């Protein structure tokens, strides 16, 4: 498809999206799919699955309401990038929802506070503002004597920083606003250790797992993110760091600004927007390559963007959201690739059924184990 035809397809998809949003869910019937197919010559020959269309439109309804161009992207991405087929298969009937863990904060005393039940324990949180509904905790409170530098405990005449640790379990994510205004999104099975208030000469946090940073610029206080393998030095920028203990590759993906990897390597590595720094724990090699940053940051919007992504990598992400294990009956299936966008925090069974519809892979659930096999 040339550029002119693609732009025309986008325009028509936007118009169709507005029509869709003016209807009730019940109106998403076969005629809608037929109408869409008739509008786009490049869809001829594809057998579009109506259940998949309804699922994606409902899952992305909130996002679609904000921008019709997003709706166009959703519709086009799934109708052009997935190859639909009508192979018969056994559907997963079980409902599998995200794991129900508890987000906690570890205090300097060692006590842990469950944030979902912490509305009446604000005093223990050093006056931080907690929004359980919005899944965010902020240390940007004004006039808070408990965290002001003049009231910090002192050790040997030097201010002693008070640290909190935000711990996110499987199935959850949470956001954090640090004392300088920097915002951090923390993914499932991850943690971040940070001072209640930063020191006057530096800002430093420690991350395990995955987090996305939107760092407030402050030339007098560089921002340092420490992982188990290396440190990241920034002034003001947006980037994602992924450093799970059980994964062989540690990756830092830069969206905007500039970062450097100053320690642990022969020379400082400066990363540009759109680049990813990758460190292989097994062979200790380093690589910097250009990437589609949305593939590594879409999780902050409760979705996973895929672009020729191997099933084994998708499974790693799903295991952090759902209380299941995956077993491959055929190791070759790990290399099956998928392209599109899938929503997180939805019924996993629906997602797996849709994967099965567009590929030669099928899934069955036994207790808390998802068994992946080839269609017979």
The 10s digit of each residue's pLDDT in 139-198 is 985 544 434 443 444 444 345 789 999 999 999 999 999 999 999 999 999 999 999 999
Categorise residue 264: left if φ over 0, alpha if ψ from -120 to 50, beta otherwise.
left
- The tokens for 244 are 């799970």
The 10s digit of each residue's pLDDT in 12-27 is 655 655 555 455 444 4
* CB-count burial class (<10 Å; 0-12, 13-18, 19+) for 287: exposed
Give the closest residue to 70 by CA, choosing from 134, 33, 18. Answer: 18
The residues spanned by each domain of the chain are 3-81, 104-295, 302-374
* CATH hierarchy code of domain 104-295: 2.60.120.1440
Separation of alpha carbons 161 and 17, rounded Å: 52
Q: Are the C-beta atoms of 175 and 185 separated by less than 8 Å?
A: yes
Would you list the DSSP string of 31-64?
Answer: HHHHHHHHH-GGGTT----HHHHHHHHHHTHHHH
Would you list the DSSP string of 108-125?
Answer: TTS-EEEGGG-TT-GGGG
- pTM for this predicted structure: 0.75
The 10s digit of each residue's pLDDT in 103-121 is 999 999 999 999 877 665 6
The 10s digit of each residue's pLDDT in 275-294 is 999 999 999 889 999 999 99
**What confidence score (pLDDT) does residue 263 get?**
57
CA 92 to chain CA centroid, Å, is 25
Q: Residue 336 pLDDT > 80, yes or no?
A: yes
CA distances from 80 to 30, 46, 69, 190 (A): 18, 9, 16, 35
Domain 302-374, CATH number (from 3.90.470.20, 3.40.50.300, 3.55.50.30, 3.40.50.1000): 3.55.50.30
Gyration radius (Cα) of the chain, Å? 23
């Amino acid at each position: 498809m040339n550029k002119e035809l693609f732009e025309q397809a986008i325009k028509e998809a936007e118009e169709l999206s507005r029509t869709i949003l003016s209807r009730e869910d019940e109106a998403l019937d076969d005629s809608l799919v037929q109408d869409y197919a008739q509008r786009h010559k490049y869809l001829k020959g594809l057998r579009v699955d109506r259940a998949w269309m309804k699922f994606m439109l409902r899952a992305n309804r909130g996002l679609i309401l904000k921008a019709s161009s997003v709706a166009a992207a959703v519709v086009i991405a799934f109708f052009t990038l997935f190859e639909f087929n009508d192979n018969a298969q056994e559907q997963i009937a079980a409902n599998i929802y995200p794991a129900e863990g508890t987000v906690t904060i570890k205090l300097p005393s060692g006590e842990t506070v469950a944030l979902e039940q912490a509305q009446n324990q604000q005093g223990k949180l050093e006056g931080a503002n907690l929004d359980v509904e919005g899944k965010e905790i902020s240390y940007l409170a004004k006039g808070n004597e408990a965290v002001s530098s003049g009231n910090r405990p002192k050790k040997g005449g030097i201010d002693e920083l008070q640290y909190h640790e935000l711990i996110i379990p499987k199935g959850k994510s949470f956001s954090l606003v640090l004392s300088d205004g920097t915002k951090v999104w923390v993914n499932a099975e991850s943690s971040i250790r940070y001072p209640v208030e930063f020191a006057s000469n530096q800002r430093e946090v420690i991350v395990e797992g995955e987090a996305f940073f939107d760092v407030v610029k402050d030339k007098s206080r560089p921002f340092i993110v420490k992982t188990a393998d290396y440190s990241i030095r920034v002034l003001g920028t947006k980037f994602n760091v992924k450093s799970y203990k059980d994964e062989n590759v540690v990756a830092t993906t830069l969206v905007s600004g500039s970062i450097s990897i100053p320690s642990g390597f022969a020379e400082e590595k400066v990363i540009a927007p759109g680049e990813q720094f990758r460190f292989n724990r097994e062979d200790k090699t380093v690589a910097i390559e250009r990437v589609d940053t949305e593939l590594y940051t879409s999780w902050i919007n409760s979705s996973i963007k895929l672009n020729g992504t191997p099933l084994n990598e998708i499974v790693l992400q799903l295991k952090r959201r759902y209380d299941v294990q995956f077993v491959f009956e055929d190791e070759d299936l790990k290399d099956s690739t998928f392209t599109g966008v899938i929503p997180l925090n939805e019924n996993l069974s629906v997602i797996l059924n849709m994967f099965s519809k567009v590929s030669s892979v099928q899934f069955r659930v036994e207790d808390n184990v998802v068994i992946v096999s080839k269609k017979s």
